[in-house]
Amino acid sequence: MIITGLVMILLFLGLVILLVAQREHVQTYDETRKEHRLKNLADLNGENEKVLAQYHWVDKAKGVVGIPIDRAMNLVLTELQANRPHPAGPITSTSPAASPSPAAGAGATPAVGGQPQSQGQQAPATGGQPAAPASSPAGTPPGPAVPSNQPTASPAPQSSGAKP
């Protein structure tokens, strides 16, 4: 009985070894898919290299031509070197009180300090910097007098005693 048991175990182990050895040679579905995907990827990379390395028509009806990527990079580089950007100037912030108000009326244009101007007056051309009035007292806000029939914008609150 022991010999029969040992023979059965050896036959079972031999069958297992045979199946494992045969499985290595049988291609599974995942391996087939992997090979197919790698082939598709290689084809796609070859097409992309061909498009990136040659002149070709993008839209012949419109006259759009694709150029090689190396040539395109050289053209962009020379264009950027020819048009060097200028350094930025100082950044000036505008307060909400200085922005034009739609309630200023049709006959008035916004002025410095949130005060509307009538049509006959012009805003100073100082590049966005408010001009100091020549004859206004220190306690009054700058700007021309506004007729009473036009709405006015309230000036920005000023803190007393604090110097800017």
Percent of the chain with pLDDT over 70: 57
Q: What's the pLDDT band for 147 if we cut at 50, 70, 90?
A: low
Give the mean model confidence (pLDDT) for residues 109-126. Answer: 49
Q: Which residue range forms the structural domain that includes residue 42?
A: 2-82
Q: Which two tokens stand for residue 20?
A: 């494992």
Instruction: Calculate the average pLDDT of the chain.
Output: 73
Residue 139 forms part of a structural domain? no
Q: Is residue 148 part of a domain?
A: no
**Residue 58 forms part of a structural domain:** yes
Q: What is the DSSP letter of 121?
A: -
Is residue 134 in a domain? no
pLDDT at site 136: 47
Give tens-digit pLDDT for 82-104: 887 777 888 887 766 555 555 54
34 found inside a domain: yes
Phi, psi of 116 (to 5 degrees): -75, 150
Q: At CB < 8 A and 24+ separation, what contacts does 25-29 make?
A: none
Instruction: Provide the 8-state DSSP code for 146.
Output: -
Number of domains making up the chain: 1
Pairwise pLDDT comparison (7 vs 114), residue with the higher score: 7
